Structure 1
Amino acid sequence: MNPRQRRGVILMVLAGLCAIALFFVSVNWVGSVNAKVSPLVKTYRATDAIPAYSVIEADDVETVEVPARWVSTSAAVDIKSLVGERVAFNVDEGTYLSDDMLLPRSSLNEDEREIALTVDAKTGIAGRVQTGDFVDVYAVFTNSEGTGGTSRVLVRNVRVVSVRGVETQTAGKGDSFGEEQIIPVTLALQPKAALAVTYADAFATSVRLVGLPPGVTSKNRSNEPESVSGTDLARSGGAS
């Protein structure tokens, strides 16, 4: 074998080794990419803007496959968990939907109704009321002459369904206006009690939530008064 042939063989061997090395590098790179982007899971994206509190229809979402590592733990990966639910706020087109965007399903019994009240620090137990708590609802009514009134128990042992965050609203007395912080509280009530609370919320001087100690039920509260008037307080020495 002459020197020229020897150099050719050496170059062919080197070329083969480079090809093998390049093959293994490529395989390793492809495996690394696959590890980063697979496995793929189904998620759902809004095909159009969905207004707050709207019911999600099947046409409102489209299926998109994305790498599992890019999906949050709250991402909706089941179409059954989306269709028929309501969104809690405005959802823009193209937004990936997740469970924390949905309003929770109602836990009401067949004989219960939800009613929302707005309370402040004074009427809402200084923000201590929480979802799942039980409270009483009191109302104060004044007479037409404005010389007295009655404090009345509207309903006892009411379950708090939800408590929303603090909101600010404009309030006015006379010619002056200002802002006050309120908290929307949703209660589960019997239909008749819901009517009473609705009336009081519109016409009573004040409606208050009253916190209860643990374990208190209607069975051990028979000795508690249903209402107290200014006259009753005067007779008992509670008012001058």
Structure 2
Amino acid sequence: MNPRQRRGAILMMLAGICAIALFFISISWVGSVNAKVSPLVKTYQAKSEIPAYSVIEEDDIEAVEIPKRWASTSATTDIESLIGERVAFNVGEGTYLSDDMLLPRSSLNEDEREIALTVDAKTGIAGRVQTGDFVDVYAVFTNEDGNNGTSQVLVRNVRVVSVRGIETETAKSGDSFAEEQIVPVTLALQPKAALAVTYADAFAASVRLVGLPPGVSSKNRSGEPELVRRGDLDELEDGS
């Protein structure tokens, strides 16, 4: 093959490579055009960061149109379903809002109040309690010396409003700090009971949830013990 033939062959190869490149560029362009002209859906995104548990206001969001195939199945397309709702976690600027980012609306009665407790993930029953279950709330109070404490029932037949996942917090233990796994649980309480549980959560040695079998919450439980002292435990240990 003489030099002229070699140059011709090289030019033909370059022309073939260019043709292939143009082919793929054309396919990509056609695909982008199809994406833009496909059915659009209106959704909403955060104008700026929305802190967790904040109430969404109209100024916090803006409407954007995106191809329907790009929108998630839970994407919120109705502004009325966003305004006045609370986000469950920090939402970054530009994030598309969806139903699974929102806290469920409260189902409280007029004479109920919501109160949140943190239940120990290891010693509590958080893994066994679900939204809609009923529980008793117990508290353990101790004297300054740690002896002769009491365990008592604060309130019975409490409805669980919500249960969140396991979280980690740093707690002080003596002169050191340790990480503990907790589960936030929200309860629906009468106002007086809410005060009692709030007090116990602040000053009791521990507050526990006691799970109830189905149907127990509707029965008369006035015969069940309300308080246990150290002396009562001594009687149990003696077998009396």
TM-score (norm 2): 0.78
RMSD of equivalent CA atoms: 2.6
Counterpart position of 1:78: 78
8 Å CA contact 2:112, 2:190 repeated in 1: yes
C-alpha distance in structure 1 between counterparts of 2:35 and 2:147, whole Å: 78
C-alpha distance in structure 2 between counterparts of 1:194 and 1:138, whole Å: 13
Bigger shift: residues 221-230 or 75-84: 221-230
8 Å CA contact 2:134, 2:217 repeated in 1: no
Counterpart position of 1:99: 99
Bigger shift: residues 138-147 or 156-165: 138-147
8 Å CA contact 1:37, 1:68 repeated in 2: no
Amino acid at match of 1:160: V
8 Å CA contact 2:40, 2:67 repeated in 1: yes
Q: Deviations over 1:134-164 (max 9, x none)?
A: 1101111123454312111000011111111
Q: 1:204 to 1:68 in 2, by over 3 A?
A: same
Counterpart position of 2:38: 38
Q: 1:192 to 1:104 in 2, by over 3 A?
A: same
User: Would you identify which runs of 4 or more consecutive aligned residues in structure 1 move more than 6 Å?
Assistant: none
- SS of the equivalent of 1:198 reads helix
C-alpha distance in structure 2 between counterparts of 1:238 and 1:120, whole Å: 31
Deviation at 1:114, TM superposition (A): 0.9
C-alpha distance in structure 2 between counterparts of 1:160 and 1:176, whole Å: 33
C-alpha distance in structure 1 between counterparts of 2:191 and 2:230, whole Å: 30
Q: Deviations over 1:73-104 (max 9, x none)?
A: 11011111111112222222222211111111
Deviation at 1:237, TM superposition (A): 4.6
8 Å CA contact 1:123, 1:209 repeated in 2: no
TM-score (norm 1): 0.78
8 Å CA contact 1:131, 1:161 repeated in 2: yes
Amino acid at match of 1:220: N
Stretches of structure 2 lacking an aligned partner (at least 5 in a row): 1-28
Deviation at 1:49, TM superposition (A): 2.5
Amino acid at match of 2:194: A
8 Å CA contact 1:140, 1:152 repeated in 2: yes
Amino acid at match of 1:120: D
C-alpha distance in structure 2 between counterparts of 1:51 and 1:35, whole Å: 33
Q: Percent identity?
A: 82
C-alpha distance in structure 2 between counterparts of 1:163 and 1:134, whole Å: 12
C-alpha distance in structure 2 between counterparts of 1:55 and 1:173, whole Å: 35
Counterpart position of 2:157: 157
Counterpart position of 1:134: 134
C-alpha distance in structure 2 between counterparts of 1:81 and 1:34, whole Å: 31
Deviation at 1:59, TM superposition (A): 2.1
C-alpha distance in structure 1 between counterparts of 2:138 and 2:210, whole Å: 7
C-alpha distance in structure 2 between counterparts of 1:51 and 1:147, whole Å: 44
1:179 is the counterpart of 2:179: yes
Stretches of structure 1 lacking an aligned partner (at least 5 in a row): 1-28
- SS of the equivalent of 2:159 reads strand
Which protein shows a greater Rg? 1
In the TM superposition, 1:1-240 aligns within 5 A as 37-125=37-125, 127-217=127-217, 219-237=219-237
Deviation at 1:126, TM superposition (A): 5.8
C-alpha distance in structure 1 between counterparts of 2:239 and 2:147, whole Å: 13
- SS of the equivalent of 2:208 reads strand
